[in-house]
Amino acid sequence: MKPEPSKKTEPLPLLLLVEDSQTTTALLSKYLGHTYRLLHAKDGVQAWDVLEKNPDIAIVITDIHMPNMSGHQLLVKIRKSDGAHHKNMPVIVMTTAEDNVDRNLAFLNGANDFITKPIDEMELVARLNVHYRLARTIRELEASKKALAEQATTDSLTKLKNRRAFFENGTKAVALARRYVSDLSVLLLDIDHFKKINDTYGHAAGDDALMVVANILLEMSRTEDTVARIGGEEFALLLPDTNRLGTAVLAERIRSAIEREQFIVGDKIVPITVSIGIATFGVDPADSIDQLLGVADNRLYLAKNAGRNRICVNDEGKTTFA
């Protein structure tokens, strides 16, 4: 009999204990060692260093009165940090039963809960588990929300931005270009004779051709650009701080790169070419991203009508490269 594959067990949650007392540290390590992986810091300064080096820390337990940086100061630093993980991390403070002033201040500084000294093991474990599970649920919900938002703005095949995302980003980009009188251009391209690729070699080959073009566009664009698939074989680039000349140069580089690409289906090299139209805000008659894309679309039609595998940068179709 074949041995059953061993199941991967999830690692224990990582907990940071901030405590300068060796006795308390030893006691809490005994209570928590079987349910959490413990890291230890003797004061707030050490704790902050440990937090920055260990992004997987899930929960913090801290004493209040410590040298160098107190628990109150550590709480403030955690809650004011730039990282969302630190801001939302559960922090439990340890206080004495009669220490209402420190307890109230800890809550004001962002503590999630408190543990009273001397520490009861069952209460400690129960409070920790509640806050850990709650924080994990919140993180999972946030991750799910982020994933859904990405799905809503991402093309499922190419993983580029989709039409919706392009227009959302374009609306913002036009507003910024108008406000700061800066350059903004749109590049619209269409794969030539794409239907013939699908009809001759099948839709799988057509999808591969789309991926080839998508990858070239990503390689030749900047981080600040928006690269989108906005139709079946139609792609658009939103180019902030790019004038007409810069856009024309980029368009020709893209056209040439796609033409040179060795797209192989089975044992055949299948040529891929694109036609491109461009438009520039502030130069062309367009006051919105819809109008700007409309200008680029008209020039894309002119490029196709002039023989395809070329770019067009004006309404006369005269400024072309082939």
List the catalytic residues: 233
How many other C-beta atoms lie within 10 A of the C-beta of residue 40? 15
CA angle 237, 240, 246 (to 5 degrees): 80
Dihedral (Cα; 164, 289, 220, 246), 10-degree rounding = 180
Q: How far apart are CA 86 and CA 80, in angstroms?
A: 9
Residue 143 CB burial class (10 angstroms; 0-12, 13-18, ≥19): exposed
Q: How far apart are CA 64 and CA 70, in angstroms?
A: 6
Q: Are 273 and 196 contacting, i.e. CB atoms less than 8 angstroms apart?
A: no
Chain-centre distance for alpha carbon 301: 35
Residue 254 CB burial class (10 angstroms; 0-12, 13-18, ≥19): buried
State how beta strands 57-63 and 113-117 pair: unpaired
Rg from Cα positions in the chain: 29
